[in-house]
Amino acid sequence: MRRLPRPLLALVGIVVAGGAGALLVATFALPGKPTFSAIDLLFWVAVTVLSSAAPIRLPRGIVVSVAGCGVLAAVLLGGAAAGAWVAAIGITEWRELRGRVPWYGTLYNHAATVLPTVVAGLMLHVAIGGGPFAANPSTLVAAVVAGLAFVAINTGLSAASIALRTQVSIRLVVSSDLPTVVAGMLATVPLAWLAAHVYVTVGWWAAALFALPLVTTRGAYQRIVETRDMFTQTVRALSSAVDAKDKYTAGHSENVQRIARDIGETMHCSEKELEALEWGGLLHDIGKIGIPDAVLMKSDKLTREERMIMNSHPVKGEAIIRPVAKLAPELPIIRHHHEWYNGSGYPDHLAGEEIPRLARILHVADAFEAMTAPRPYRMTPLSVEQAMGELRKYTGIQFDPVIVEAFTRTKWAHQPREPHPLIEQKPIPMLEQVAAMKARTAVGPAIVRAEGN
């Protein structure tokens, strides 16, 4: 607990205290529903425990499960107190029992679910009263509204803790994962309402059949995450294929991606723009696949014809990526990341605001990374201070002044770069060398055996 940053420590304390207080108020001060028994409570706790067994981690770190269905069904049937206790006990995960979540994290996660559950219970009590549950349009609408309040508060508290722990803007955390969370919640709220209706009119065994659509919903979450991961891994593989052509550019695209994203965050870019910077950073040099190695790795000054060949890589890269519809937002970045602010860049000689903003961001990131890493034409990289001097020198000429200023507020402008891990490229042996090596290998064991006899 001592290792937690003070803001995060304060948030944990406030939310845990609030969750405990809400649980006590709901238990002793709010009216429950007399038709909801201890057996009913145990049933919905069991449903929620099973629903929490396999949570899904979304890209920004928010962990989701389909446990909200059981919690909201308990609120509809038993009121705020019943839902609060189901939330407090039922969302226990296996990773918590195995000690893979710190105790304060467990307390925070449970409190961050109890609080919105009590709020949702109060909203339902005001909207439909404290009588037995009745399935009608008004209770369905009330359940959807209460469910949206539940997901808004729960997601907000989860995002706040992630933002403080990872030093990332809460806006970015929420904007990245919220659409997926809300879509899933809108699917589970009607299920909770329908499960409550079936539980009352048919029985617990029929309500248990709703496990099937819950499993399907969880599978949809899983497929979303897996598809994104697979796509990202494919993009990284393409990026690595480009960097692998030249030992001096090993890791270049990964570094450009990170630098560009940090600039984008400093400039308060949207999540979609940051994602475009990430993938655009990885793929900005994909066109170099079509550049001959003799030109790409030449240590001497390029001739005019060679320079024209090298300068064609943004257009080649755009052509390579264009068939991939998912990467359409990255096309302007790939094509225009070598345009100069004064219009003397390539390939289209755009100037100023004509250059897409994300391409201007990537241009700064690309130039800084290249200056602070060894290249065939310059084996000794520039220091961070020297590279910053070059960026300022060409501000308004090559670089957008606003973006250079934003870059100065990132960590990259103030901390030394790590040594570049040059990849050792071993020469390919000639045929006669291979034959000689095989001859030595064949003779060696025979000599050893002879000496042993």
What does the pLDDT read at residue 226?
A: 73
State yes or no: cis peptide before 132, omega within 30 of 0. Answer: no
**What are the structural domains of the chain?**
6-228 (1.10.1760), 244-413 (1.10.3210.10)
Q: What is the pLDDT of residue 22?
A: 95
Instruction: Report H helices in 244-344.
Output: 252-266, 271-283, 293-296, 304-310, 313-321, 331-336
pLDDT for the residue 311: 92
Specify whether the backbone of 395 is left (phi greater than 0), alpha (psi in -120 to 50) or beta. beta
Count Cβ atoms below 10 Å from residue 453 Cβ, excluding itself.
4
pLDDT of res. 450: 35
Please report the pLDDT score of residue 376 as a whole number.
Answer: 65
pTM for the structure as a whole: 0.64
Q: Is the dihedral of CA 101, 103, 106, 112 positive or negative?
A: negative
pLDDT in tens, the chain (453 residues): 457 788 889 999 999 999 999 999 999 988 888 889 999 999 999 988 887 776 666 665 566 667 788 899 999 999 999 999 999 998 888 778 888 888 888 999 999 999 999 999 999 999 988 888 888 999 999 998 998 899 889 888 988 888 888 777 777 776 666 666 666 666 778 888 988 999 999 888 887 777 766 667 666 666 767 777 777 787 878 777 777 766 666 678 889 999 999 999 999 898 889 989 999 999 999 998 888 888 887 778 889 999 999 999 999 999 999 998 888 999 999 999 999 999 999 999 999 999 999 999 999 999 999 898 877 666 778 899 999 999 999 999 999 999 999 999 999 998 876 655 544 444 444 445 545 554 444 433 333 333 333
163 contacts 170 by C-beta, under 8 angstroms: yes
Structure tokens at 309: 């060949």
Please give the pLDDT value at position 220: 67
HSE on the CB side for 381, CA within 13 Å? 23
Per-residue model confidence (pLDDT) at position 392: 95
Both tokens of 350, joined, read 């755009």
Contacts of 261 (CB under 8 A, 6+ apart): 274, 277, 278, 281
List, in sequence order, the alpha helices (H) in 169-297.
170-201, 204-207, 211-243, 252-266, 271-283, 293-296
- Check residue 443 and give its pLDDT: 39
Q: How many of the other CB atoms lie within 10 Å of CB of 429? A: 11
Q: Residue 402's pLDDT is what?
A: 96
Is residue 105 within 8 A of residue 63, CB to CB? The reply is no
Which of 172, 175, 174, 167 has its CA nearest to residue 7? 167
Give the span between the Cα atoms of 374 and 354, in whole angstroms. Answer: 32
3-state secondary structure of 19: helix
The string over 137-150, giving b where at least 16 C-beta atoms fall within 10 Å of a residue's C-beta and e elsewhere, is eebbebbbebbbbb
